Amino acid sequence: MKNTGMNLSIIAATAFVCATVFGCTFNKPDNTALTMTPVGTWVDTVTTTPSFAFALSRPITDTVVTLKLDPAASFGGDLCAKISPTCDTLFFDVPVGSTILSGSTTYTISPSTILHSATGKTLDPSGAVFSFTTYPSESGQNITPAKADTFSGKICGQIYPSSDTDYFYVASPAGQTLSITSSGEGIVAMALDTMGTWSDTLASSAGLVHAFSSKAKSPLTIAVVSINRTSASYLLFVGKP
């Protein structure tokens, strides 16, 4: 009759010696699910040219990954994401000059198909759905003072092509603050006087902010232009500081 207890003791002792003397390890099966999360803090409201980055909990084996928008992108298809060299991050940038997204719209974004990891785990698109809303957007027809877009609060736009000038109309600027941020350098906001002549720069993407006095004239036409003659997206704000 075999001595089972002694055999088990020998096996345990051998494993202990292997682990302590030779540095051996015994890997447990990896049952961690494949998940996808936004990189950094998720921003609920974005311009119409946002950048997205999603981290995967483990590398994937898929060589092509597309992202689905709901409502669908303006061209009716899915978005092709970039995959990091380590195969664990997905990127997508909406390029300046595109009309993929509409302003004042709530979207959801998710993988178009099931994703696969090297360990056999999968991620169903229904398990990775993220929502965001776009700011109001310029009309695209606001290329002259007479066609200026009226707005208050925040509005996004694009300097495209680089020689583009966008015009906006602020009914009551008195006591409010004007600021602008952009994806590129040299984007400035200037006021037009009643003769249609540009005044000094009021706000710039470099951080210049303008506070209107309580006696500021109304209404006010604002021109947004690139002094560097480069294309860029921007977010214009007029409101209480």
Q: Taking the C-alpha atoms of 84, 85, 88 and 94 in order, what is their torsion angle to the nearest 10 degrees?
A: 10
Q: How confident is the model at residue 194 (pLDDT cuts 50, 70, 90)?
A: low
Tokens 């099931």 map to which residue? 114
Q: Which amino acid is at 13?
A: A
The per-residue pLDDT for range 89-112, each reduced to its tens digit, is: 999 999 999 889 999 999 999 999
Where are the domains positioned within the chain? 36-134, 145-239
What is the number of other CB atoms lying within 10 angstroms of the CB of residue 108? 12
Distance, CA of 112 to chain centre: 18
- Residue 26 clears pLDDT 80, i.e. is over it: no
Q: How do residues 204-222 score in pLDDT, each as one tens digit?
A: 999 999 998 888 878 889 9
Residues 66 and 115: their CA atoms lie apart, in Å, by: 10
Select 145-239's CATH number: 1.10.645.10, 2.60.120.380, 2.40.10.340, 3.40.50.80: 2.60.120.380
pLDDT of residue 31: 67
Predicted TM-score (pTM) of this structure: 0.82
Res 15 pLDDT > 60: no
Does residue 185 contact residue 165 with C-beta atoms inside 8 Å? no
How confident is residue 193, by pLDDT bands cut at 50, 70 and 90?
low
Do the Cβ atoms of 215 and 175 come closer than 8 Å? no
The percentage of residues in the chain with a pLDDT greater than 90, rounded to a whole number, is 69
- Tell me if the domain spanning 36-134 has CATH number 2.60.40.1220: yes
Predicted local distance difference test score (pLDDT) of residue 4: 45
d(CA 89, CA 92): 10
pLDDT for position 217? 78
Residue 157: closest CA among 200, 133, 187, 193:
187
pLDDT per position as a tens digit, 55-101: 999 999 999 999 999 999 887 789 999 999 999 999 999 999 988 99
> 234 pLDDT exceeds 70?
yes
pLDDT score for 81: 97
Strand partners for 149: 168
Please tell me the predicted confidence (pLDDT) of residue 17. 40
168 vs 214, residue with greater confidence: 168
pLDDT band (50, 70, 90) for residue 153:
very high
